Amino acid sequence: MHPTCRELPTVEECKAAAQVISYPCLRECVEKQCAGVKVNCASEEIQSACRSKSSEGLIALGYVVRFSDKPTSCMNPSREVNWCEQPSSRDCRAISMVHELAHACGWRHGQGLGVPGDDGELLCE
């Protein structure tokens, strides 16, 4: 994880939160990403995108940029996550990071597989 980003879960919290993922390849990908992903947070561009992704009382804690020319999968994940630095509980930060790392590993909303916030909304504080 990025040492200067605020409101990040620890690697251990991230790995523990990943245990709910039922598909082994995806779970293992997320667990590896907990320690190895590059977390971007410092630019105003990222924080502005975070504000625009927040809507109707829901606050975005992170997002992954997908590129159509670089498809991702649990065997070929994206190596970057953008983090919003929004205050939230330790548990919420961990499950939000797991959600975003699952995206980095090729998962999409509606695929289930035990990923928190399958419908795109994580309801935590």
Average pLDDT of each block of 10 consecutive residues along the chain (125 residues)?
A: 81 97 98 94 88 77 84 93 91 95 96 93 75
In the chain the first and final C-alpha atoms are separated, in Å, by 21
List strand residue ranges (DSSP E) for 3-102, in order: 38-40, 62-63, 80-83
Do the domain assignments include residue 79?
Answer: yes
Do the domain assignments include residue 65?
Answer: yes
Checking DSSP bridges between strand 62-63 and strand 38-40, what pairing results, if any?
unpaired
Q: Can you give the residue range of the structural domain that contains 81?
A: 22-105
Question: Model-level pTM?
Answer: 0.91
Domains held by the chain: number: 1
Residue type, 5: C
Do the domain assignments include residue 36?
Answer: yes
Do the domain assignments include residue 122?
Answer: no
Distance CA 42, CA 35 (A): 19
Do the domain assignments include residue 83?
Answer: yes
